[in-house]
């Protein structure tokens, strides 16, 4: 019986997400700066919301103390860094000198896409994460992608089975897109928030 329980536990652990890279030997940071998102998408608000959501989830996890994002941004602005895309122009050593932390967490938002084309729907978020510790060592790296939605074929069969409901759903999707584009989403709200939270949850499970 004990062997069965032990085997089940091993299977459960092995089924969990694993990081892309974890350094073998490093000191866990005490204070982390979550740097501005390097946004490689056309969704400006999405990148800001994603960073805010990640901050909140990491804070809840109590992995380490977090330097407030406003403080991070203010100190970076003094060095001429106003956007996550500029971070590549400054060395990790200089970032550690600028920010009173022993951990730097980088986010690259690769995809933040919500489209409804005819009867198909795509909801996709993709990002990479890197944690550097003093003096400038890469301690952890992860890459995640969440893709939701219905293909044209799936939507077509659904529409055939229940055409009235399909029309209602299409109208709701259109309303959501219009509202999302017109809303101010730089705090914690975004059309792809469920997908963002799902991705972040998986990623945080891989922190060593």
Residues 3-42 pLDDT 10s:
544 444 444 444 678 999 999 999 999 999 999 999 999 9
Residues 152-188 pLDDT 10s:
444 444 445 555 554 444 445 445 444 444 444 447 8
Residue with tokens 């990623």: 203
Q: Which of 39, 164, 169, 61 is nearest to 107 (CA)?
A: 39
* pLDDT, averaged across the chain: 83
Q: Which of 71, 163, 55 is nearest to 105 (CA)?
A: 55
Q: From CA 4, how far away is CA 19, in angstroms rounded?
A: 27
Q: Which two tokens stand for residue 1?
A: 């019986």
DSSP state of 118: T
Extents of the domains making up the chain: 19-113+125-148+185-204
What SS3 class is residue 68? Answer: coil
Q: From CA 94, how far away is CA 105, in angstroms rounded?
A: 14
Residues 34-65 pLDDT 10s:
999 999 999 999 999 999 999 999 999 999 99
Q: Which two tokens stand for residue 13?
A: 């652990």
pLDDT at position 108 over 50: yes
Say if residue 135 is preceded by a cis peptide, omega within 30 of 0: yes
Provide the CA 19 distance to its chain's centre, in angstroms.
14
Task: Please state, in angstroms and as integers, the Cα–Cα distance from residue 198 to each residue in 6, 82, 87, 123, following that order.
Answer: 29, 28, 26, 12
CATH number of 19-113+125-148+185-204: 3.40.50.10610
């Amino acid at each position: 019986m004990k062997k069965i329980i032990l085997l089940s536990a091993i299977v459960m652990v092995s089924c969990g997400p694993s990081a892309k890279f974890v350094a073998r030997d490093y000191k866990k940071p005490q204070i982390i700066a979550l740097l501005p998102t390097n946004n490689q998408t056309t969704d400006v608000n999405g990148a800001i919301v994603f960073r805010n959501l990640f901050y909140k989830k990491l804070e809840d996890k109590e992995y380490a103390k977090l330097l407030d994002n406003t403080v991070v941004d203010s100190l970076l602005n003094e060095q001429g860094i106003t956007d996550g895309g500029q971070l590549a122009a400054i060395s990790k050593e200089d970032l550690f000198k600028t920010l009173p932390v022993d951990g730097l967490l980088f986010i690259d938002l690769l995809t933040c896409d919500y489209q409804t084309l005819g009867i198909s729907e795509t909801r996709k978020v993709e990002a990479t994460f890197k944690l550097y510790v003093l003096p400038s060592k890469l301690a952890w790296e992860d890459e995640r992608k969440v893709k939701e939605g219905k293909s044209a074929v799936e939507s077509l069969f659904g529409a055939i089975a229940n055409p009235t409901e399909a029309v209602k759903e299409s109208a709701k999707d259109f309303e959501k897109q219009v509202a999302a584009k017109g809303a101010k989403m730089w705090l914690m709200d975004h059309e792809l928030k469920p997908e963002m939270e799902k991705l972040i949850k998986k990623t945080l499970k891989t922190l060593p």
